[in-house]
Structure 1
Amino acid sequence: MTATLEDAIGKQTHTGLLGRLMTHQVFWVFLAAVLGSIALTLLTDTFATERNLFNVTRNFAFIGIVAIGMTAVIITGGIDLSVGSVVVLSAMICGMSMASGMSIFLAIPLALGGALAVGLINGLLIAVIGIPPFVVTLGMLSVARSIAMVLSQNKMVFEFGPDQAKLLWLGGGSTFGIPNPLLVLIVLALVT
């Protein structure tokens, strides 16, 4: 008698909580993260420090913020390859505006407006003209990155004008010991 793959899968039984957990990819990723953390804690003096965990949490929050927006795109069956370049472009708009003396309270809305304009262009090209999202966002990836390079003259921006301390607090500071970007991530996750 020849058994099919479906028959073999159907006959498999996973008894107990651990057996069921082991069938999920998330379990293995979590296990790898835990084992990696234990190894790094034992092998280095700096991994399990408060400062490093603060930095890891803060840096993860930026990725999480972008992932919240990308979740909506992916759920609707879309794709956006330009998101990283648009983040860089909006950061460059904010940084260059503040470096020229603009208030952070004007520079942030200007940067968000720039990102919104790029999203609007992408949306029009996809929804109205009918160009496939992969093609549009791949092209916009290069366009947004190029505009950011032109704005900055391909140089790093280190000075952010009179509101530099506010910008550094917003992106690198903390409130009650919790990294500010993590608080933003939590608020966005609750709102969406």
Structure 2
Amino acid sequence: MSQQDVSDMNVDLLKRHDRSLLRRLMLTQEMWIAIAIVVLGLAVSMISGKFATSGNLMNVLQNACFIGLMALGMTPVLISGGIDISVGSILGLSGVTLGVLLNAGAPLPLGIAGTLAVGLVFGGLNGAVITLAKLPPFIVTLATLSIGRSLALVVSDNQVFYEFGTATESILALGGGYTLGVPNVVYALVAFVIVLHCLLTMTRWGRYIFAIGGNESAARLAGISVDAIKISAYAFSGLMAAISAIFLVGWLGAVTNAIGTGYELQTIASTVIGGASLTGGFGTALGAAIGSILIEVIRNALLIAGVNPFWQGTFVGGFILAAVLLERIRSLRR
């Protein structure tokens, strides 16, 4: 075989690899969601020039990040075969905790530490009750949704916090500030997408999460500490809700006990639309982030198009059904 033949063969192999890579990429849910975002954005831009402005696009991205951070926390929970509908309440309780601590004069690092601790502990308790009491995740987190919202009322004494003591400027800059023209929360979302991707694909913890979601009985027989892994997944979900609360409080510049109300549906929707399976075993960090962006693009597009905001839930629900149907079709093909 001549050197020219070898060179031609290498070129042919590279072309086949590129085609195979493109084919695999086009089959991913993340790619289709990204295409949907672009198509929807172009369609809305044709209706109104307000959508494609830099200010509006940054606003869309910033709003999506608060849900996106929570969706990242929801991803391991769904992959493991669970669900957490208390994340909105955890965000609310965490946000109120931050407001109370800072308003009392606590320095920002202490306020953030307390906020993260609340989210981590509350999420961990969800996982502990689910695994130790052998109760359905939906029932447990439905109960803690109510408990968390009630505790937010108790902790805040039904007050609204506008002042954050010596940390006022710092928290406002953290949550509502920009770096190089990009909202700070966007950098946080990108960083946590990378972190979660590495955790899910490069660590034993990530492999165990997928194994549990794929077949919990087989995972137990393989010696995996299923209960401990599940508790850690719910604790991670609570932690991400608390992180989102920190940025959201800084962006809003105020805290009420109602903060985060309704976010659980948007969080679950973002994760499912991004490719996570409600039956467990599938999900990606990137998918959760892209799903949250699509949800916010839909919301923003409806507002710009002059559609009654009350229809937002209908459109989000429709996308959830479409995503679940697509996942079911893909699972049958597998």
Output the TM-score relative to the length of structure 1. 0.79
Residue 184 to residue 30, structure 1, CA distance change in 2 (3 Å) = closer
- Report the Cα distance in structure 1 between the residues aligned to 2:124 and 2:157, rounded to whole angstroms: 25
Q: Which amino acid aligns with 1:188?
A: F
Match of 1:154 in 2: 158
Whether 1:67 aligns to 2:77 is no
Aligned counterparts, 1:22-171, within 5 A: 30=34, 32-171=36-175
In 1, Cα distance between equivalents of 2:180 and 2:118:
32
Report the number of matched residues: 174
Letter in 1 for 2:125: I
Question: Aligned partners of 2:159, 2:186: CA distance in 1, in Å?
Answer: 28
Deviation at 1:29, TM superposition (A): 5.3
Q: Relative to 1, partners in 2 of residues 1:112 and 1:25: Cα closer, same or farther, differing over 3 Å? A: closer
Deviates more, 1:28-37 or 1:163-172: 28-37
Q: Which runs of 5+ in 2 are unaligned?
A: 1-21, 197-334
What CA distance in whole angstroms lies between the structure 1 residues aligned with 2:182 and 2:107? Answer: 25
For residues 149 and 162 of structure 2, the distance between their equivalents in structure 1, rounded to whole angstroms, comes to 19
Following superposition, the deviation at residue 164 of structure 1 comes to 1.3
C-alpha spacing 1:24/1:110, structure 2 compared with 1 (3 Å): closer
Give distance in 2, aligned partners of 1:107 and 1:191. 23
Superposition deviation, residue 147 in structure 1: 0.8
Deviation string for 1:137-161 (max 9, x for gaps)? 1000000011112222333322222
CA distance in 2 between counterparts of 1:26 and 1:39 reads 20
Q: Go from structure 1 to structure 2 and tell me whether the alpha carbon gap of 1:124 and 1:28 turns closer, same or farther (over 3 Å shift).
A: closer
2:310 counterpart residue number: none
In the alignment, residue 109 of structure 2 is paired with which amino acid?
Answer: F
Q: Which moved more, 1:48-57 or 1:23-32?
A: 23-32
Q: Which moved more, 1:23-32 or 1:172-181?
A: 23-32
2:182 alignment partner in structure 1: 178
Runs of 4+ in 1 over 6 A off after TM superposition: 23-28
Alignment partners' CA distance in 2, 1:45 and 1:67: 30
Q: 1:94 touches 1:107 (CA, 8 Å); kept in 2?
A: yes
For residues 111 and 26 of structure 1, do their structure 2 counterparts lie closer, same or farther at Cα, with a shift above 3 Å needed?
closer
TM-score (norm 2): 0.48
* Distance in 2, Cα, partners of 1:27 & 1:102: 44
What 5-or-longer segments of structure 1 have no aligned partner?
1-16
Quote how far apart the aligned CAs of 1:78 are. Answer: 0.7
CA distance in 1, matches of 2:88, 2:66: 11
CA distance in 2, matches of 1:164, 1:57: 24
Partners of 1:58 and 1:172 within 8 A in 2: no
Secondary structure of the 1:157 match is coil
Question: Is 1:172–1:179's contact at 8 Å kept on the other side of the alignment?
Answer: yes
Find the aligned partners of 1:159 and 1:63 in 2 and give their Cα distance: 25
Deviation sequence 1:47-96 (CA, Å, 0-9, x none): 22222211111111111111111100000001111111101111111112
Q: Distance between the aligned counterparts of 1:155 and 1:41, measured in 2?
A: 41
Deviates more, 1:143-152 or 1:71-80: 143-152
SS of the residue aligned with 1:80? coil
Deviation at 1:43, TM superposition (A): 3.8
Distance 1:100 1:151 in 2: 13
Q: Distance in 1 between matches of 2:97 and 2:46?
A: 43
